[in-house]
């Protein structure tokens, strides 16, 4: 699937671009920045400067550079040879790099309102489906800047509060854009495999609190609806109806991470002992703002909308399709 970033620094630019569906080739562009000698994925003009050319390999499934996918990093404009890709001749490799660069350019120039359904990227990828936005997980690691021991201390202190996506992804098997908004269940399990790294509280406390606050806000609005009905003499049946719908929807949303994680992984434990992720801590202010905004999603936006439904005394447009 063709995927775009929806957050800065590369908002609106392609993240995954299939360009040869016949042979399984695609481009993966990470969230790398020009810090401490690093190379930015895109330059200021939006032209790609660093990318990985990947093949889906034996299972035929694009796995964002993971799984059995085979990738070759290409840093354009640095003098790195562009004719060396394992298993290909120099001529084939150079032609493949040109195809990849062209595919990134085509994908970047697709109008935002046209990025739905299927689009054409190249002669070998005329029908590429546009998928959901790419998960904003930085390729930068804490250990790029600090010692493993210092990173471990920071992870123990900050992980339960900030809950960075690069560290709370259930051992790399279930990345999400925002851990706190994944709800109570997601906040409890997404960070859990980090206990293998010596993290004493491998849960997202901010997410758990936000989820509980959201549930309490729905209950309070139900109480206020009943009180208003008692004071005004209006029928209270609609209060119970809307309360039941909101409560059902709330727990349905909470169960989504559990269903996507626990069921496929019920006989499998997350693996990997190395310290990973943590690049979000390079910008603590932005990470903290993101955490605060996520909490307000439950305690303000969700609460306000549910109270409006209570006040409107109608169940129309309440809840989602299952």
Tokens 């993290």, residue located: 199
> How far apart are the C-alpha atoms of 180 and 292, rounded to whole Å?
9
For residue 108, the enclosing domain spans 3-129
Q: Is residue 300 classed as helix, strand or coil in its secondary structure? A: helix
Looking at the structure, do residues 198 and 268 belong to the same domain, yes or no? yes
Structurally, the chain folds into a number of domains equal to 2
Domain co-membership, 27 together with 66: yes
Is the domain of 300 the same as that of 158? yes
pLDDT band at 271 (very low <50, low <70, confident <90, very high): very low
Does some domain include residue 322? no
| In a shared domain, residues 191 and 91 | no
Q: Looking at residue 269, what is its pLDDT?
A: 47
pLDDT in tens, 186-214: 888 889 989 988 999 999 999 999 888 88
| Length of the chain in terms of residues written | 322
Q: CA 54, 57, 63, 68 torsion: positive or negative?
A: negative
Give the whole-angstrom CA distance, residue 319 versus residue 108: 35
Closest of 36, 28, 25 to residue 10, by C-alpha: 28
- Whether the per-residue pLDDT at 247 is higher than 90: the answer is no
Which of 30-39, 179-188, 227-236 is predicted least confidently? 30-39
Start-end of H helices in the chain: 90-108, 148-162, 183-189, 205-232, 237-261, 284-296, 303-312
Q: pLDDT tier at 120 (50, 70, 90 boundaries)?
A: very high
% of residues, the chain, pLDDT over 70: 74
Give pLDDT tens digits for 91-100: 999 999 999 9
Residue linked to tokens 């394992």: 86
Cα separation, 163 vs 160, in Å, equals 6
Q: pLDDT tens digit string along 142-173?
A: 777 788 898 899 999 989 998 888 788 887 66
Contact 135, 30 (CB under 8 A): no
pLDDT, residue 270, reads: 43
If one compares 244 and 12, the residue with the highest pLDDT of the two is: 12
């Amino acid at each position: 699937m063709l995927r775009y970033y929806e957050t800065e620094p590369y908002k609106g630019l392609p993240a995954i671009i299939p360009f040869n569906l016949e042979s399984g080739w695609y481009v993966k562009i990470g969230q790398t920045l020009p810090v401490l000698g690093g190379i930015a994925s895109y330059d200021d003009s939006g032209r790609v400067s660093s990318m990985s050319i990947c093949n889906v390999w034996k299972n035929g499934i694009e796995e964002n550079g993971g799984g059995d996918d085979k990738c070759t990093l290409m840093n354009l404009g640095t003098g790195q040879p562009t004719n060396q890709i394992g298993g290909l001749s120099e001529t084939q490799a150079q032609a493949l790099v040109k195809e990849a660069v062209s595919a990134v350019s085509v994908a970047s120039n697709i109008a935002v309102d046209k990025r739905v359904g299927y689009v054409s990227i190249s002669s070998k990828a005329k029908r590429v489906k546009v998928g959901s936005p790419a998960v904003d997980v930085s390729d930068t690691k804490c250990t790029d800047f600090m010692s493993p021991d210092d990173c471990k201390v920071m992870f123990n202190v900050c992980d339960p509060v900030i809950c960075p996506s690069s560290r709370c992804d259930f051992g790399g098997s279930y990345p999400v854009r925002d851990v706190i908004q994944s709800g109570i269940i997601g906040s409890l399990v997404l960070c859990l495999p980090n206990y293998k790294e010596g993290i004493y509280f491998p849960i997202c406390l901010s997410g758990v609190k936000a989820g509980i606050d959201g549930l309490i806000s729905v209950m309070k609005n139900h109480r206020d609806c009943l009180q208003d009905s008692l004071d005004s003499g209006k029928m209270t049946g609609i209060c119970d109806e809307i309360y039941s719908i909101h409560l059902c929807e709330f727990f349905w949303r909470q169960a989504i991470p559990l269903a996507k994680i626990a069921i496929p992984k019920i006989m499998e434990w997350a693996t990997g002992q190395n310290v990973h992720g943590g690049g979000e801590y390079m910008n603590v202010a932005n990470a903290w703002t993101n955490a605060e905004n996520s909490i307000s999603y439950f305690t303000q936006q969700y609460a306000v909308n549910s109270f409006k439904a209570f006040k409107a005394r109608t169940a129309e447009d309440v809840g989602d399709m299952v």
